[in-house]
Structure formats: structure tokens, C-alpha cells
Amino acid sequence: MTKAEQRKQTLAARRALCAEERDAYNAAICARLRELPALRKARTILSYRALPDEADLAAMEAELGARFVYPRCLGAGKMEARFPTGPLRAGPFGIEEPDPACSVLIAPEEIDAVLVPCLGFDAAGRRLGHGAGYYDRYLLRCPQAIRVCAAFEVQRLERVVTEPHDLRMNYIVTEKACYVL
């Protein structure tokens, strides 16, 4: 199976979840994330704002006591991390992101953990992203940060097709399990 075929398969599986399943799975994922020792001790966490069918982590943010920062896409596969001091706005992909006029730029070395969205994953820590490389490029800039992928179990693949630049995750957290890698 190619990456494109894997993306199509896992996106369809994610979108097939009904609202009640997604809500229950989001709650279970957030509960597992709250118990992850590496996140409990993190002071600055780069998270993401979920698309309607993605694992939504917003419910656990207030409970961890960390500073949550969010990506802002700059184009050409580049992003930066920002701490919002005002409302978020829709970015180039329709995902909420910090407005540079009311947010603070965060240096990659300040980030202790990165919560990474995905289209698919496997038990060996390989992650299938959307294909633009935003997270893989950014993660190279903060190698001290733990990498935690949040996903639904229906997005699990036997083996994700990878390329040399694809980074493995340290943890993958689903509603059913926490894969420690």
C-alpha cells in the first residue's frame, strides 16, 4: 500500500466514527494523556487545534498545568510555535492558530513535549501525516521534546510507509492504549 492509499484508508476510518464514538474516544485519549508522566512534568507543550474528525485534546489542557502553545503555519512546510494572548483565527488549512498580532513566539528549545496529530500510525511509532512535512521539520528543531501522537485506534495500520525524513514518535496514545516506544 502506498502512503496515498494509507492516507485515504485511515481518513475514511476516522471520518466513519459517529459523534458519540468520537466524544467517548476523545475523553479516553485525554484521560490517558493526563496520566502520562512525561506530559505531567512538561512545562511547555506544543499542542494542536483539532479538525472536526481528529482526536480533540482541548479537554485536558487546563488539567495539566502546563503552558500550551500552538502551531502557526508559515507555508512551504514551515511552522512556528506561539502562545496565544488573544483569540485564535483560521489558518491556511482552516485550522485554528494563533494570530501573530496577539500571541508570543516560542523558541523550539522551550518546548518539552509536542502533541502531534496524524492520519495513521503503527505500533512501532511510525506516524502518517498529511504529507506536507510541517511537524517533521519542526520536530527537528526541538529534539529535546518528547513526541506524542494522539489518534483513534481505527487509524492504526500494520506498518506505516515511511521515508528517511519521517520521525518516529515516543508515544502513541489512543482510546484503547498507550504505545510506549
Q: What is the pTM of this model?
A: 0.94
**pLDDT at residue 132 in the model:** 85
Tell me how far apart the alpha carbons of residues 16 and 21 are, in angstroms, rounded to a whole number. Answer: 10
**pLDDT at residue 93 in the model:** 85
Which superfamily does CATH assign the domain made up of 3-180 to? Answer: NagB/RpiA/CoA transferase-like (3.40.50.10420)
**pLDDT at residue 140 in the model:** 94
Tell me how far apart the alpha carbons of residues 112 and 47 are, in angstroms, rounded to a whole number. Answer: 11
**Residue whose C-alpha cell is 483560521:** 90
Domain-wise residue ranges, the chain: 3-180
Rg (C-alpha) for the chain, rounded Å, is: 15
**pLDDT at residue 28 in the model:** 98
**pLDDT at residue 172 in the model:** 97
Residues of the chain falling short of pLDDT 70: none
**pLDDT at residue 116 in the model:** 96
**pLDDT at residue 102 in the model:** 97
**pLDDT at residue 133 in the model:** 87
* pLDDT tens digits for range 37-49: 999 999 999 999 9
**pLDDT at residue 40 in the model:** 94
147, 167 in Cβ contact below 8 A?
Answer: yes
**pLDDT at residue 162 in the model:** 92
User: What is the DSSP code string of 85-137?
Assistant: SS-EEE-TTS-EEE-GGGEEEE-GGG-SEEEE--SEE-TTS-EE--SS-HHHH
